[in-house]
Amino acid sequence: MPFIKMHGTGNDYVYINAFEYDISDLKLEELVKHISHRHFGVGGDGLVIIMPSKLHEVRMRMFNPDGSESEMCGNAVRCVGGYCHNHGIVKRREFNVETMKGCIGIKILDDGMIRVDMGTPITNPREIPVDLDKEIVTDYPISVDGFEGKFTAVSMGNPHAVFFTRNIDSLDLEKIGPQLEHHELFPNRVNSEFIEIISPKEVNFRVWERGAGETWSCGTGASASIIAGNLTNRLGKKVLFHLKGGDLILETNEKIDRVWKTGHYNEVATGTYYYNET
C-alpha cells in the first residue's frame, strides 16, 4: 500500500491517502502496530488516514502505536491540511477537517505556515475526564514514583494534565509518564505536559502522550498548556513554544475560550509498505 511520511515539529506519522487508496479491507487497529514500528515498519508516532468526509472537505482518523484510536492530533491535522492543499485535494486556502473531536479549521498562510483553529478548550473535569469533584482543576497536587507536581486539567478533545515545573530536561519521562497516564484520577488515561517558563511569552515543552510515549511535539498538548498557563496567570495570550522537534506559536483570546496554533509541516517521504497481517 502507498504511504506518505510527514512530521509537524518532529511529531511524525505514517499517512495513507484514502482519496486514492481503498482502505475498506484494512484492520487499521492492527495495521498501525506494524507500520509505525520504528524497527520493523516505516516508523512513526502512529497512523493517520486522510479520507473523504460527508461533512467537510476532508476527514482525518488517527491511531496510536498501541492500536487505540485518538480523538485528534494538532500536529497531524496541520500536516493533513498542508498535504491536502499542496496536492490539490482542497483548492481553497481556508477549509475544515473532520476529526473525532469535531470540525477543525485550517488556514494556509502566505509564508507557507499553517494556522489551525484548535477549537474550544474543555475545563469541566467531568468532560475531560478527571475523577475530581471540582468545577475546574488547577494546580492540583499529584505524586507518583519519581515525581511530585501540580497539574491543571484541560481537554482539547483529548485529556491533558499540564505541569509547570523546572529542569524539564532532567525528568525521567519513561518512568513517570506511564504512571501518570494510567493514574486512577484519569479514567480515559491522560497526556502529560511539562512546561518550563522562560517568560510569559516563551516556554520549553516536553510531553508524554497516552498510547505513544514521549513524542517530539504535541499540538493539542501545547494548546492545553497555553490554556492552563492563562487559567493560572502564568502565561500571556501569545506564546512561543520550544518543543523537541521545533517551535510552535500558540494563541488564545481574552476569554480563554479558543486556541490557535501556527507552524510548518514537512513531507519527508513517500513509498510502498508491504503489509502482511500474519
Cα–Cα distance, 28 to 16 (Å, whole number): 11
Residue 223 makes CB contacts below 8 A (sequence gap 6+) with: 74, 118, 121, 156, 250, 259, 261
CA angle 256/258/259 to nearest 5° reads 105
Q: Report the candidate in 103, 109, 22, 97 with the shortest Cα–Cα distance to residue 57.
A: 97
Long-range Cβ pairs for the range 53-56 (8 Å, 24+): 53/97, 53/98, 55/98, 55/103, 56/95, 56/96, 56/97, 56/98, 56/103
73 is annotated as an active-site residue = yes
Give the position of cell 486522510.
Answer: 50
Q: Which of 79, 84, 103, 218 is catalytic?
A: 218
Q: Report the candidate in 182, 202, 201 with the shortest Cα–Cα distance to residue 192.
A: 182
The backbone torsions φ and ψ at residue 242, rounded to the nearest 5 degrees and listed phi first, read: -100, 110
Alpha helices in the chain (DSSP H): 28-35, 74-86, 173-181, 219-231
Tell me the three cell numbers of residue 277: 497481517
Question: DSSP string spanning 153-214?
Answer: EEESSSEEEEEE-S-GGG--HHHHHHHHHT-TT-TT--EEEEEEEEETTEEEEEEEETTTEE
The residues annotated with a catalytic role in the active site are 73, 218
